[in-house]
Amino acid sequence: MLAFSFDVGNGFVKARNNKRSMIAPSSIAKKESMGSSSITDMSSSFDASFGYREFESSLDDGTTYIWGEEIADVVDPSSLLPTYTHNHRYTQKRFKLLCSFILAELASDYEEDELRDVIVVTGLPSQEVGTTEAEDFKRFLQQKHIVKINGKQLFIHVTDVRIIEQPLGTLLHQYMNESGQVHKEFLNNTLTVIDFGAGTTIMDTFKNVKRLEDKSETYYEGMNDIHKRIAKRIEREHGIKGLDASFVEEGFRNNTMVATVSERKKYSFEDIAKDIITNFIEKLISDMDAVLTNRDSIDKFILTGGGVHIVSTYFQDTFGEDSVLIVENSQEANLSGFYKLASTISRKEKAS
C-alpha cells in the first residue's frame, strides 16, 4: 500500500508521497488559456522550463488542463480556475479535477502506469468532517482514477481514504514520530490550534486526542479576505480599477509588500496591510473569546497554517498570552501530520 497525503487549501495545494512533497496553487487552467505561438518549436522549449504539466481526466474527456507549481507564471490571473469557494466546494467539477491531478502528480513519481493499492489521508475544515459533502468527497476519492499527465495515462486505485480535521494534522506533525508513537503531551494536555488558512481560520481545541466541540469554531474568513481588502484599499487610494488580489498575495510571498502589476505600475501596501491585518486580528480574537470563554483552561495555543507568517506578530501582540507556539514550516505542518498518519496505516496494513 502506497501512502499519499494532500491538503487542498483555498490558496495552495500541499501534497506528499514517499519520494517528495510539493506546493502549488489551488487553481487550474484550460490549456487554451495559455494562447498560441507561430514559433511552436521555440515556444515548446520555453514552456518546458516552467513548473506545470498537462492533464486530461476522465471527469472531463476531451479537455486538456494545465496545473503545477508555477501555473500563475504562465496564465493570466483572469484565466485561472480557482477552487476557492464556500459553496459546495467538494462537489464541484473543478475541485474534483484538481484532486485527480494531485493524485496523478504523486503517482507520476513511480515507474508503474497502474498503482493498485493507495491510501490517501487528507483534511477538511473541522466543522465539515463527517458531513454529507465530506462523505461524498470520500467516495469520489476512493475509486479508480484515470488521468493522463503529459500524454501518459495513469491508473490510480485509491483503496482507503481517511479524512480528518485540518488542524489535527498539525498536532500529528508536532506530537507523532515517524514510527507512529504519540507524545504524552498530546494525550494529556488541552491544546488549542489556530489554523490561518486562505479561506478559513480554524480554532480547534483537543484533549485526549478528541476535538472539544464547545471550544472550537471555524471562521469562514482567511488570508484571501485580507488580500482582497488590501487590493480594494489600493484601488481607492490610487484611483485604479480591477486590481486582482493575486498581486497583493505575491507581494506578501516575496516579502516586498508591493503589488507589482507591471514594471510601470507598482503599489506599496505595507501601511495598508498593517491597518487591515490589525482589524482582522482584533475581530478574530473577539470572536474566539466568545467561544473560548476561559483561556486559563488551555495548556498551549498553537499557531499554524499558510497565513502565520502574515499575522502571527499581530496576533501575539493582541492576544497577550505567553504560552503560544508558532509551528515551524507552518504551511506544510498539516500535510506532514497527514502523511505520518498515512504511513502508519500503510505499515500496519503490510504487517497484517
Cβ contact 258:269 at 8 Å = yes
Buried b (16+ CB within 10 A) or exposed e, 9-26: bbbbbbbbbeeeebebbb
Of the CA atoms within 13 Å of residue 5, those in its CB half-sphere come to: 30
Cell numbers found for residue 318? 493582541
pLDDT truncated to tens, each residue of the chain (352 aa)? 899 999 998 889 999 999 999 999 999 999 988 866 555 555 444 444 457 899 999 999 889 999 999 898 888 888 899 998 777 888 899 999 999 999 999 999 999 999 999 999 999 988 899 999 999 999 999 999 999 999 999 999 999 999 999 999 999 999 999 888 999 999 999 999 999 999 999 999 999 889 999 999 999 999 999 999 999 999 999 999 889 998 999 999 999 999 999 899 999 999 999 999 999 999 999 999 999 999 999 999 999 999 999 999 999 999 999 899 999 999 999 999 999 999 999 998 877 7
Location of C-alpha cell 484599499:
233
Number of C-beta neighbours around residue 107 at 10 A: 22
> What 3-state class would DSSP assign to 25?
strand
State whether residue 149 is helix, strand or coil: strand
Nearest CA to 129 out of 160, 95, 163, 90 is that of 163
Calpha distance 95→281 (Å, rounded): 29
